Amino acid sequence: MQSYEEMSKEQLYELQEGLEKEYAKYKGMGLSLNMARGKPSAAQLDLTMPMMDTLDSSSELVATDGTDCRNYGGLDGVPEAKELIAQMVDSKPENVIVYGNASLNVMYDTVSRSFTHGVMGHTPWYKLDKVKFLCPVPGYDRHFSITEFFGIEMVNVPMKEDGPDMDLVESLVSSDETIKGIWCVPKYSNPQGIVYSDETVRRFANLKPAAKDFRIYWDNAYVVHHLYEDDQAEILDILEECEKAGNPDMVYEFCSTSKISFSGAGIAGLVTSKANIEDIKKQMTIQTIGFDKINQLRHVRYFKDINGIKAHMKKHADLMRPKFEMVEKILEEELGGLGIASWLNPKGGYFICFESLEGCAKDIVARAQEAGVTMTPAGAPFPYGKDPKDSVIRIAPTLPTTEELETATRIFVICVKLASIEKFLKNE
């Protein structure tokens, strides 16, 4: 297949003419397709419907420690829910606080608490002249939205094939006491699907931060979200590694069942050291008397343990995998060898990270939108929505039906080709 760079100006114009006709055909169909966010499909949500039958009016709603789950109390979660969360992330129940349905809420609260009241007795961030966070890029846009909301300066750190550029992380963290945290998605990262290596995890655990209140914000969102049963990534337990390194308090780990059970009605967990937990509870006792313990009980009685979750996630993978593979197949058939794009084929998580020619991402997303395909805004995987190369696009294959996804992907491919041809013609 001849690359676009090798084509003559006349060949590019001829190709452009044919693609414009295809694009116009799709535009005339009045489509409304969505590949913007990593939402589970209706079929995935249907998998968990039997959970609704787990509890009824005759159920005994008492936790193993005797807590009546209908009543107040249980600030940090019922014991069996703490055990379930601990099993998910390979930690210990005593290191877990169980919250409501969203880990994003927990992450926001954690930053907010640090901002207003400080971390374990250190100066509240609002009293400081400057607060910075390191942001591995491309990364999760909602992480960046939280730190931007609080006026925290965000510093880009490039992602490598085994995690963030740790040479840069170590250098910055050890030399700048205004750096208070780093966002991480260590397993099947959003959006690239990268898995942190053992060496990367250990280097994180052995950081020597200049700021005594520095914390690693370890968002283990896709810890059980494998696409392939025979090719599942595993990562080291960051809490255990931090303890070994003599930094037991340096990490906040976040997780949830949002993409396991119901996105709007799951349970979330914060996993951290006992000292951090005691510090966090000082706020929690003011903020709430406890989260939804009946929902915690519902989850435990439905999944029972980590093996129940794993069996359930295999059903999710069976629905998701064909969608990912179809997108990857179309991308390879239509764009492979053209020299205008690259992408990563993840083994888990919820996204495919696509990289266009420099300066083309916004154009591609805009063209797709005009043809009825909504995608994550170009630039979203970077702080302040500013992709320095304007090249990264996040593809979310899960929500559409297979038929919708195929149509959306074919429209996307046409948009990539048109934007790329236009770039080459401009450079002639």
For residue 71, give the CATH number of its domain.
Answer: 3.40.640.10
Residue 171 CB contacts under 8 Å (≥ 6 apart), including other chains: none
Compute φ and ψ for 98, nearest 5 degrees: -100, 125
Q: Which of 167, 149, 58 is nearest to 383 (CA)?
A: 149
- By percentage, how much of the chain surpasses pLDDT 90? 98
Query: Are 148 and 20 contained in the same domain?
Result: no
- Rounded CA-CA distance 407/29 in Å is 11
CATH number at residue 383: 3.90.1150.10
Do residues 133 and 180 make contact, with C-beta atoms less than 8 angstroms apart? yes
Strand-pair partners of 179: 132
Residue 51 lies in a domain: no
Domain limits for position 23: 4-44+310-426
Q: Which of 304, 322, 347 is the last residue of a domain?
A: 304
Tens digits of per-residue pLDDT, 137-147? 999 999 999 99
Q: Which of 87, 110, 399, 61 is nearest to 263 (CA)?
A: 399
Query: Are 219 and 203 contained in the same domain?
Result: yes
Query: Are 183 and 227 contained in the same domain?
Result: yes
**DSSP-derived secondary structure for 369-418:** HHTTEEEPPTTTTSGGG--TTS-EEEE--SSS-HHHHHHHHHHHHHHHHH
- Rounded CA-CA distance 145/158 in Å is 18
Query: Are 196 and 276 contained in the same domain?
Result: yes
- Rounded CA-CA distance 340/330 in Å is 15
Which residue matches tokens 């992480």? 143
Query: Are 276 and 382 contained in the same domain?
Result: no
Query: Are 116 and 70 contained in the same domain?
Result: yes
Do residues 12 and 421 make contact, with C-beta atoms less than 8 angstroms apart? yes
The DSSP call for residue 123 is P
Q: Residue 428: what pLDDT? A: 67
pLDDT above 90 (res 427): no
Query: Are 139 and 106 contained in the same domain?
Result: yes
Q: Residue 62: what pLDDT? A: 97
Compute φ and ψ for 93, nearest 5 degrees: -55, -35
Compute φ and ψ for 282, nearest 5 degrees: -60, -35
- Rounded CA-CA distance 67/87 in Å is 21
Length of the chain as a residue count? 428
Do residues 155 and 132 make contact, with C-beta atoms less than 8 angstroms apart? yes
Tens digits of per-residue pLDDT, 40-77? 999 999 999 999 999 999 999 999 999 999 999 999 99
Joined together, the tokens standing for residue 207 give: 């950081």
Question: Amino acid identity, residue 22?
Answer: E
Query: Are 160 and 211 contained in the same domain?
Result: yes
Strand-pair partners of 392: 355
Q: Which of 357, 358, 376, 356 is nearest to 366 (CA)?
A: 376
Mean pLDDT confidence for 219-223: 98
Q: Which of 164, 162, 158, 223 is nearest to 197 (CA)?
A: 162
Is the link from the previous residue into 164 a cis peptide, with omega within 30 of 0? Answer: no
- Rounded CA-CA distance 269/267 in Å is 7
Query: Are 263 and 283 contained in the same domain?
Result: yes
Tens digits of per-residue pLDDT, 322-360? 999 999 999 999 999 999 999 999 999 999 999 999 999
Q: Which of 304, 338, 364 is the last residue of a domain?
A: 304
- Rounded CA-CA distance 304/384 in Å is 41
Query: Are 241 and 327 contained in the same domain?
Result: no
Residue 52 lies in a domain: no
The DSSP call for residue 226 is B
- Rounded CA-CA distance 186/195 in Å is 6
Residue 54 lies in a domain: no
Residue 421 CB contacts under 8 Å (≥ 6 apart), including other chains: 4, 12, 15, 16, 19
Give the three-class secondary structure for 65.
Answer: coil
Sign of CA dihedral 337, 140, 218, 175: positive
Reported in sequence order, the residue ranges of 175-296 that DSSP labels E, i.e. its strands, are 179-184, 215-219, 251-256, 268-271
Q: pLDDT grade, residue 291 (50/70/90)?
A: very high
Q: Residue 161: what pLDDT? A: 97
Do residues 285 and 60 make contact, with C-beta atoms less than 8 angstroms apart? no
Q: Which of 277, 304, 331 is the last residue of a domain?
A: 304
Q: Which of 298, 313, 322, 395 is nearest to 355 (CA)?
A: 395
Query: Are 93 and 202 contained in the same domain?
Result: yes
Joined together, the tokens standing for residue 64 give: 């193993």
Joined together, the tokens standing for residue 53 give: 């039958």
pTM (2 decimals)?
A: 0.97
Query: Are 210 and 317 contained in the same domain?
Result: no
Task: Please give the tally of structural domains in the chain.
Answer: 2
Do residues 195 and 187 make contact, with C-beta atoms less than 8 angstroms apart? yes
Tens digits of per-residue pLDDT, 4-27? 999 999 999 999 999 999 999 999
